[in-house]
A and B are shown apart, each in its own frame.
Chain A
Amino acid sequence: RKEVEQDPGPFNVPEGATVAFNCTYSNSASQSFFWYRQDCRKEPKLLMSVYSSGNEDGRFTAQLNRASQYISLLIRDSKLSDSATYLCVVRDSNYQLIWGAGTKLIIKP
């Protein structure tokens, strides 16, 4: 079993729709959680950290469920520019980042 698992997609979503991604992690001792965005043939960039109480940044909402060991990312009113691969990242107790393989999102006009 992978330490961080994501549905690879692709998710094909019409512009303006709401889309949600889930990610599960295997290490219950994981300490911090992040979503990164990676555009095609580019480097990953931090989208947002995920806090225990959940957090929102504009159209993006991240949730953490420690009991079930999953993280979610919700994108509302999706834009064409949201097309990218979204990487779920978990920091373990050794302060190392464990990366999911990513979920590809395609927003269609």
Chain B
Amino acid sequence: NAGVTQTPKFQVLKTGQSMTLQCAQDMNHNSMYWYRQDPGMGLRLIYYSASEGTTDKGEVPNGYNVSRLNKREFSLRLESAAPSQTSVYFCASSDQTGPSYGYTFGSGTRLTVV
């Protein structure tokens, strides 16, 4: 009963380094999302994938890339990390059935860029 699994849980990067955040869900959901959460702000959508094989930009896509590897996995890549990307990153999934579908979130990745 894992739900949404994110790795790593914590990461410290130097400016300019790259890394990939991994996300996998075992609920057979079609849609997956990457958010960032900063103090005093609501969650902001970075990228999403409405279904396997598609990805779209969200509100704050600059500096990030994503890959929907298969139905289960959706990764987020920082090609050249910047201090402004210090944040908590959450992956989420949903099946988008009905008007009141909810999102299931992973436990988050706390990223610090120095």
Contact = CB atoms under 8 A, between A and B. Distances in A.
Contacts of B107: 42-43
Interface string B92-108: 00001001101101111
A31 interface: yes
Contacts of B100: 32, 34, 49, 51
Interface in A12-59: 31-32, 34, 41-46, 49, 51
Contacts of B41: 101
Given A44-B90, A102-B42, A97 B103 contact: yes
A31 B44 CA distance: 19
Interface in B20-58: 40-45, 48, 58
A4 interface: yes
A98 interface: yes
A43 B42 contact: no
Contacts, number: 44
Interface of B: 40-45, 48, 58, 90, 96, 99-100, 102-103, 105-108
A96 B42 CA distance: 13
B42 A100 contact: yes
10 contacts: A8-B40, A41-B108, A42-B107, A44-B90, A45-B105, A46-B103, A87-B42, A87-B43, A96-B48, A97-B43
A49 B44 CA distance: 20
Task: Place the interface of chain A in its size category.
Answer: 20 to 34
Nearest to B39: A101
Contacts of A44: 43, 90, 103, 105
A51 B103 CA distance: 17
A86 interface: no
